[in-house]
């Protein structure tokens, strides 16, 4: 089964497009340690999530104990739930090969976030296994995404749109196993990317702490079939008094907007 078949199956079975972000920010931990990071994540793993997205940075910050906490966290996630390893990898081909082994073999994650800026050879090691997915950074959610990603090319199109088209027309052509990171904070960019690529999955962070507009993002980003956007939310859930209840609230809100469309 390909990664996107697994994701689609899970989204339909559980009727959810919510991806719970596992970002153990130091300031949110009861104990500032790798064990504290593990316990923080343990508390967030519940059953309304379509997928989970651990961000490697917060584990790496605790050194080898942090890496072990990441591995223990991954083991808590049931096999049928897709995992997005958020590590934003991408290097020359031979180095990406090692990153891909780390993410897909050592950590056994289903998918990874990756940067497109080293080009196709830097992405191939992640894309060569059809059962794994690669979320290519296209238009990220942060304000600085305007600095480079939105540059206008001589053709008149923004660089992010060129990246999106190159990804599907060339880099991921063989297995069609890429999705695009398109922040929920820039709905104009999202609308343009959706118009160019009606079938691709988006990973759309920015709801909650970053102030993205959920209703607008779903309006322009959902596919015709009511799927096609995975919405990762980290602090918006983890900082709530009752994270489980908050995750359920987000799922219900997303589904109500999908139904009203
Ligand atoms: P919250 O803002 O707390 O929901 O966290 C967002 C998470 O998504 C963090 O782990 C970010 O590193 C990640 N992220 C973005 O915020 N913006 C992007 O454009 C891409 C990502 C990502 O690749 O997940």
* pLDDT given for residue 46 in this prediction: 82
Tell how far the Cα of 205 is from the centroid of ligand 1, in angstroms.
5
* pLDDT given for residue 36 in this prediction: 98
SS3 22: strand
Domain count, the chain: 1
Ligand 1 lined by 236 (C-beta under 6 Å): yes
Q: How many CB atoms lie within 10 A of CB 166?
A: 16
> Which pairs from 250-257 meet CB under 8 Å and 24+ separation?
250/18, 250/207, 251/15, 251/16, 251/17, 251/18, 251/48, 253/214, 254/16, 254/17, 254/18, 254/214, 254/218, 255/15, 255/16, 255/17, 257/214, 257/215, 257/218, 257/219
Ligand 1 lined by 205 (C-beta under 6 Å): yes
ipTM, two decimals: 0.99
Instruction: Give me the CATH number covering residue 186.
Output: 3.20.20.70
DSSP lists the bridge partners of residue 85 as 112
Q: Point out the ligand 1 atom lying closest to the alpha carbon of residue 183.
A: 19
Residue 219 region by backbone torsions, left for phi larger than 0, else alpha for psi between -120 and 50, else beta? alpha
Strands 51-54 and 18-22: parallel
Tell how far the Cα of 145 is from the centroid of ligand 1, in angstroms.
13
Handedness of CA 106, 6, 193, 183 (dihedral sign): negative
Ligand 1 lined by 113 (C-beta under 6 Å): yes
Tell how far the Cα of 209 is from the centroid of ligand 1, in angstroms.
10
Ligand 1 lined by 183 (C-beta under 6 Å): yes
Write the CA distances from 157 to 136, 153, 165, integer angstroms.
18, 6, 11
Ligand 1, atom 21, residue with closest C-alpha: 205
pLDDT in tens, the chain (261 residues): 999 999 999 999 999 999 999 999 999 999 999 999 999 999 999 889 999 999 999 999 999 999 999 999 999 999 999 999 999 999 999 999 999 999 999 999 999 999 999 999 999 999 999 999 999 999 999 999 999 999 999 999 999 999 999 999 999 999 999 999 999 999 999 999 999 999 999 999 999 999 999 999 999 999 999 999 999 999 999 999 999 999 999 999 999 999 998
Angle formed by the axes of helices 63-76 and 34-44, to 10°? 20
User: What is the set of active-site residues?
Assistant: 88
Mutate to test the pocket of ligand 1, among 21, 24, 213 (most ligand atoms within 8 A of CB): 21
Ligand 1 lined by 185 (C-beta under 6 Å): no
Ligand 1 lined by 235 (C-beta under 6 Å): yes
Ligand 1 lined by 141 (C-beta under 6 Å): yes
Ligand 1, atom 8, residue with closest C-alpha: 205
Mutate to test the pocket of ligand 1, among 58, 126, 232 (most ligand atoms within 8 A of CB): 232
Domain that holds residue 97: 3-260
- What CA–CA distance (Å, rounded) separates 249 from 246? 5
* pLDDT given for residue 132 in this prediction: 98
């Amino acid at each position: 089964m390909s990664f996107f078949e697994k994701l689609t199956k899970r989204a339909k079975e559980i009727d959810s497009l919510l991806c719970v972000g596992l970002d153990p920010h130091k300031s949110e931990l009861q104990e500032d340690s790798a064990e504290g990071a593990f316990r923080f994540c343990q508390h967030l793993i519940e059953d309304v999530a379509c997928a989970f997205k651990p961000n490697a940075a917060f584990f790496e910050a605790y050194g080898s104990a942090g890496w072990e906490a990441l591995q223990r966290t991954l083991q808590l996630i049931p096999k049928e739930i897709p995992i997005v390893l958020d590590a934003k990898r991408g290097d020359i081909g031979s180095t990406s090969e090692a990153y891909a082994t780390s993410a897909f073999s050592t950590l056994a994650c289903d998918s990874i976030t990756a940067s497109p800026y080293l080009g196709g050879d830097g992405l191939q090691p992640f894309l060569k296994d059809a059962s794994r997915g690669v979320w290519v950074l296209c238009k990220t959610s942060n304000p600085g995404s305007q600095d480079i990603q939105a540059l206008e090319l001589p053709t008149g199109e923004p660089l992010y749109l060129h990246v999106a088209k190159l990804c599907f027309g060339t880099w991921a052509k063989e297995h069609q196993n890429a999705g695009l990171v398109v922040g929920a904070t820039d709905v104009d960019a999202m609308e343009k990317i959706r118009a160019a690529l009606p079938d691709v999955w988006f990973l759309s962070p920015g709801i909650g702490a970053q102030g993205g507009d959920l209703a607008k993002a779903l309006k322009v980003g959902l596919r015709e079939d009511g799927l096609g956007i995975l919405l990762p939310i980290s602090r918006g859930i983890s900082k709530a008094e009752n994270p489980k209840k908050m995750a359920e609230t987000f799922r219900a809100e997303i589904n109500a907007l999908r139904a009203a469309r």
